[in-house]
Structure formats: structure tokens, C-alpha cells
Amino acid sequence: MRRTTVRSAVLWLSAVGLLGACGGAPEQGEDALATAAQPLIAAPPLPLGSFTSYASPLAVGSAVQSSTGLTPGYEGYKLTVAAHTQVQLEVTHLGSSMYLDTGLFVYGPKDASGSYGHQVLFQDDDSGYGELSKVSLATLDKAGEYLAVVGWNNAAGKQYRLQASCVGGACVPNPQPASANQGLTLVEAPVDAGLQATLATANTYREDMFSYLRKFDFAWPYSTPATVDAAGAAVLSRSEYAGYRTDAAPQTFAYANLLTRMYSPFQPLHPAILATYGDTAEPVQVKSYFREFSTGPNGDNWRTLNVIFFPRSFHVIVYEQTAHEI
């Protein structure tokens, strides 16, 4: 009974926050709700609020069924996993009401103070069926308890079903060896906010040097590790990196050797990338591609694409550095 009361209060407060700025919800019937284009579902306001204290458990390989109530709001679910667990989270077509519009957000892991942190690790608005949400790959680096939050705008007493499926890593019960030529399917994920800040600062030092940082994950349900060559091939298959395919002799080396190859303003990224994404004693490797071209007199350009491969953590970090004549 207490859970129902608290949940109702939270949903009512969420509705006030979402609708108060525009003076309340316009009157409209069910047909209007069903056909109107829905805005993106915003992440829940910080701090995450009391609903986290009453979050229901959600085990990997299971699903939960719930209802939205009558007002916009959020509901949280606790997901406890081993390190390097890879899951897919989806508000499924099966068990969810027609025309429901959802958002999905993942935080964590929970720390000693009981906080799941303020940074959204993964989020999605409408990659699922219709306007339902689906995070196709969430690689959870650390063991512990994570928080999956479902949000909605057009409630009207609708139902939804949230499913957590194992797609790789530590949750696979009996992994088999990968084939010799097993490729990687890369899924882009947000770069850590601290790394983004370090990169942004470094990019202000010189007008003739600029670097880029991207993070990709790959689902890996196998017992044998992927390879840096497969990671390099997956990155080069992307159209934005087609120019590097002309490098006939890319170099492969240990991550420690990348430091001296980085332009000095960007070298603080080197230990930070490893600390953020690497596991203890993980054999991180780099495959590096180079290209140069000219855009005219005094227009020489030099570019290096570094594919940083984390075989145990299932990450591929792309660090691209560029320089040009001035």
C-alpha cells in the first residue's frame, strides 16, 4: 500500500514539473493522444528522487509489467549485474499499450551513499516499436546495482512492459568460442563527461591541432576474445573513416605506446581513457591508421585514426587527431 501511495505522489509531482511551465495540459481526447507527434521524453530531474527508494527489481533475462497511471512521470527498476555484463533493455510491443510514448534511461552503479550518480549512461526515446524505447546494447563495466528508468508523457492509464535481455559478456551462461573471422557490430555510446571536458580543453590550445573522441561498444557472447584487427575493420567500414582505407601498413601496438604519439595538449587523455574504460591488467591494444592530403598551397593536412581496443571490457574508443598548416 505504501509503495502505491508513494508512486502515485511521485507521478503527480512529475506531472506538475512537466506541465507547469506551459500552464497545464491542453484538453484533448484519446484520438488526439494517439495521433499527435510526441515530444522527446526528458531525463528525470535531478536528484533522481524518492522513487529510486521504491524501485522494483529487474533481473537480466526477465521482464516487468506496470502501468503509467494517469499523469506523466517516471518509474525506476534495479538491475544487479556482474562486471562486464551486456544487456538489451526494451519497452516491448508485447504488453505495452497502443500509442504509448516512452523514454528509457540507465544510471549507476549505485555507490556507498546510495546514489546512482547524475550521468545518464545510456538512453533512448523511440528506437523500439512505434514510440517505445529500446537500448539495444548497454555494456555495464562494473559489478553492482544499476537503475533503469522508464518515463512517459501521454499516460492516460496505459500499460507497459520492460524487458532486460542478456546479449553478451558476463551474463552469458555457457559461451562458445567465436569463429576465426567473427566480426564486430559497433554501437555508439556517449563518451564519459569527464573525458569530453578534458578533450574540449585540449582543443583550445592550438588552432592547427584538433582531436576527436568517440566510444563504441560491441556485443560479445563468446568465450574467446575479439581481436584488434576486427575492431579496426569495423571502424574502417564506417563511411566517415573511408579516407583511412588507403593506409596499406597500419601499425598495431600496446596502449602504453600511444602516449608519445599523441600531440602534447591531448596527452592528459591517455591515462584518463584507460582509467575510465579499462579493466585491471586488461591487454588494451591500438591499431593506428595515417593519411595526409593537401587542399592547396600551405594546405597540408595530417590525420591519424587510433582504434583503441578493450577486449575484456567490450569497448572500442576512436581517438582521431588532426593537424594542418597555417
Domains 2-169 and 186-324 share a fold: no
C-alpha span between 28 and 69 (Å, rounded) = 17
Confidence of residue 18 (pLDDT cuts 50, 70, 90): very low
C-alpha span between 10 and 48 (Å, rounded) = 11
Its CATH architecture, for the domain 2-169, is: Sandwich (2.60)
Task: Give pLDDT, residue 37.
Answer: 59
Give me the residue label for grid cell 512517459.
152
Identify the weakest region by mean pLDDT among 21-25, 148-152, 188-192.
21-25
Confidence of residue 156 (pLDDT cuts 50, 70, 90): confident
- For the chain, the domains span 2-169, 186-324
Task: Give pLDDT, residue 165.
Answer: 98
Confidence of residue 47 (pLDDT cuts 50, 70, 90): confident
Looking at every residue in the chain, the average pLDDT score rounds to 88
CB 145 within 8 A of CB 80: yes
Identify the weakest region by mean pLDDT among 40-54, 77-91, 177-191.
40-54
DSSP labels, 32-46? HHHHSPPPPPPPPPS
DSSP labels, 236-264? HTSGGGGGGGG-SS-EEEEGGGGGGGS-G
Task: Give pLDDT, residue 38.
Answer: 67
Q: Does domain 186-324 have CATH number 3.40.1000?
A: yes
Q: Determine the average pLDDT of the residues in 146-165.
A: 93
C-alpha span between 299 and 200 (Å, rounded) = 24
More confident residue, 326 or 214: 214
